[in-house]
Protein backbone atom coordinates (compact mmCIF):
# COMPACT_ATOMS: atom_id res chain seq x y z
CA UNK A 1 0.00 0.00 0.00
CA UNK A 2 2.88 2.34 0.61
CA UNK A 3 4.98 1.57 -2.44
CA UNK A 4 2.81 0.33 -5.30
CA UNK A 5 1.42 2.32 -8.23
CA UNK A 6 -1.83 3.09 -6.33
CA UNK A 7 0.04 4.66 -3.39
CA UNK A 8 -1.63 8.06 -3.88
CA UNK A 9 -5.09 6.49 -3.95
CA UNK A 10 -4.37 4.56 -0.74
CA UNK A 11 -2.96 7.68 0.91
CA UNK A 12 -6.10 9.65 0.07
CA UNK A 13 -8.42 6.92 1.32
CA UNK A 14 -6.51 6.43 4.58
CA UNK A 15 -5.90 10.08 5.42
CA UNK A 16 -9.45 11.19 4.54
CA UNK A 17 -11.23 8.38 6.42
CA UNK A 18 -13.18 9.33 9.52
CA UNK A 19 -15.57 7.48 11.81
CA UNK A 20 -18.45 7.88 9.32
CA UNK A 21 -16.56 6.52 6.31
CA UNK A 22 -14.85 3.80 8.37
CA UNK A 23 -18.24 2.22 9.04
CA UNK A 24 -18.42 1.38 5.33
CA UNK A 25 -15.21 -0.67 5.31
CA UNK A 26 -15.24 -4.45 5.60
CA UNK A 27 -14.66 -4.06 9.36
CA UNK A 28 -17.64 -1.77 9.86
CA UNK A 29 -20.63 -3.26 11.65
CA UNK A 30 -23.06 -1.91 9.04
CA UNK A 31 -21.22 -3.42 6.10
CA UNK A 32 -22.68 -6.55 4.55
CA UNK A 33 -19.24 -8.21 4.59
CA UNK A 34 -18.80 -7.69 8.35
CA UNK A 35 -20.62 -10.89 9.37
CA UNK A 36 -18.83 -12.81 6.58
CA UNK A 37 -15.46 -11.65 7.87
CA UNK A 38 -16.35 -12.54 11.47
CA UNK A 39 -17.44 -16.03 10.42
CA UNK A 40 -14.12 -16.44 8.60
CA UNK A 41 -12.20 -15.39 11.74
CA UNK A 42 -14.21 -17.66 14.04
CA UNK A 43 -13.51 -20.60 11.72
CA UNK A 44 -9.78 -19.92 11.25
CA UNK A 45 -8.55 -18.53 14.56
CA UNK A 46 -7.68 -20.92 17.39
CA UNK A 47 -9.74 -19.21 20.07
CA UNK A 48 -8.31 -21.51 22.76
CA UNK A 49 -5.03 -19.57 22.50
CA UNK A 50 -6.72 -16.27 23.35
CA UNK A 51 -8.03 -14.86 26.62
CA UNK A 52 -11.59 -14.31 25.48
CA UNK A 53 -14.51 -14.38 27.85
CA UNK A 54 -16.88 -14.81 24.93
CA UNK A 55 -16.50 -15.45 21.21
CA UNK A 56 -17.47 -11.89 20.28
CA UNK A 57 -14.41 -10.57 22.19
CA UNK A 58 -12.44 -11.46 19.07
CA UNK A 59 -14.13 -8.41 17.48
CA UNK A 60 -12.51 -6.19 20.12
CA UNK A 61 -9.10 -7.75 19.50
CA UNK A 62 -9.46 -7.25 15.75
CA UNK A 63 -10.57 -3.66 16.34
CA UNK A 64 -7.29 -2.98 18.17
CA UNK A 65 -5.12 -4.84 15.65
CA UNK A 66 -6.70 -3.24 12.58
CA UNK A 67 -6.77 0.15 14.32
CA UNK A 68 -3.04 -0.15 15.00
CA UNK A 69 -2.42 -0.88 11.33
CA UNK A 70 -4.55 2.01 10.02
CA UNK A 71 -3.17 4.48 12.57
CA UNK A 72 0.35 3.56 11.47
CA UNK A 73 -0.60 4.02 7.80
CA UNK A 74 -2.15 7.40 8.58
CA UNK A 75 0.95 8.43 10.54
CA UNK A 76 3.21 7.30 7.68
CA UNK A 77 1.23 9.09 4.96
CA UNK A 78 0.73 12.35 6.85
CA UNK A 79 4.40 12.50 7.84
CA UNK A 80 5.64 12.19 4.26
CA UNK A 81 7.27 15.31 2.84
CA UNK A 82 7.49 16.92 6.28
CA UNK A 83 10.27 17.21 8.81
CA UNK A 84 8.60 14.33 10.70
CA UNK A 85 8.86 11.94 7.71
CA UNK A 86 9.23 8.30 8.76
CA UNK A 87 10.68 5.40 6.83
CA UNK A 88 8.97 2.20 5.81
CA UNK A 89 11.14 0.44 8.39
CA UNK A 90 9.85 2.79 11.12
CA UNK A 91 6.24 2.15 10.05
CA UNK A 92 6.73 -1.63 10.15
CA UNK A 93 8.36 -1.34 13.57
CA UNK A 94 5.34 0.60 14.88
CA UNK A 95 2.92 -2.05 13.62
CA UNK A 96 4.98 -4.88 15.14
CA UNK A 97 5.37 -2.99 18.41
CA UNK A 98 1.60 -2.53 18.69
CA UNK A 99 0.99 -6.20 17.90
CA UNK A 100 3.62 -7.26 20.44
CA UNK A 101 1.91 -5.13 23.08
CA UNK A 102 -1.41 -6.76 22.23
CA UNK A 103 0.16 -10.20 22.57
CA UNK A 104 2.45 -9.68 25.56
CA UNK A 105 1.30 -6.43 27.18
CA UNK A 106 3.19 -3.15 27.41
CA UNK A 107 4.02 -3.44 31.10
CA UNK A 108 7.29 -4.90 32.28
CA UNK A 109 5.37 -6.30 35.25
CA UNK A 110 2.37 -8.60 35.23
CA UNK A 111 -0.51 -6.63 36.78
CA UNK A 112 -2.91 -8.13 39.28
CA UNK A 113 -6.33 -8.00 37.68
CA UNK A 114 -8.90 -6.31 39.88
CA UNK A 115 -12.51 -6.86 38.85
Handedness of CA 40, 95, 53, 57 (dihedral sign): negative
List per-residue pLDDT tens for the chain, 115 residues long. 667 787 777 777 777 776 555 555 545 454 545 678 788 888 898 988 888 898 888 888 888 888 888 888 888 888 887 888 888 899 999 999 999 988 888 887 766 666 5
Neighbours of 47 (CB within 10 A): 12
Prediction pTM value = 0.64
Amino acid sequence: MMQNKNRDLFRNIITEMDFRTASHTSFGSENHKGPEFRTFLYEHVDLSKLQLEQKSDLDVLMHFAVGNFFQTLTHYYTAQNTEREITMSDAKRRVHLGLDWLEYGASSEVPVRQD
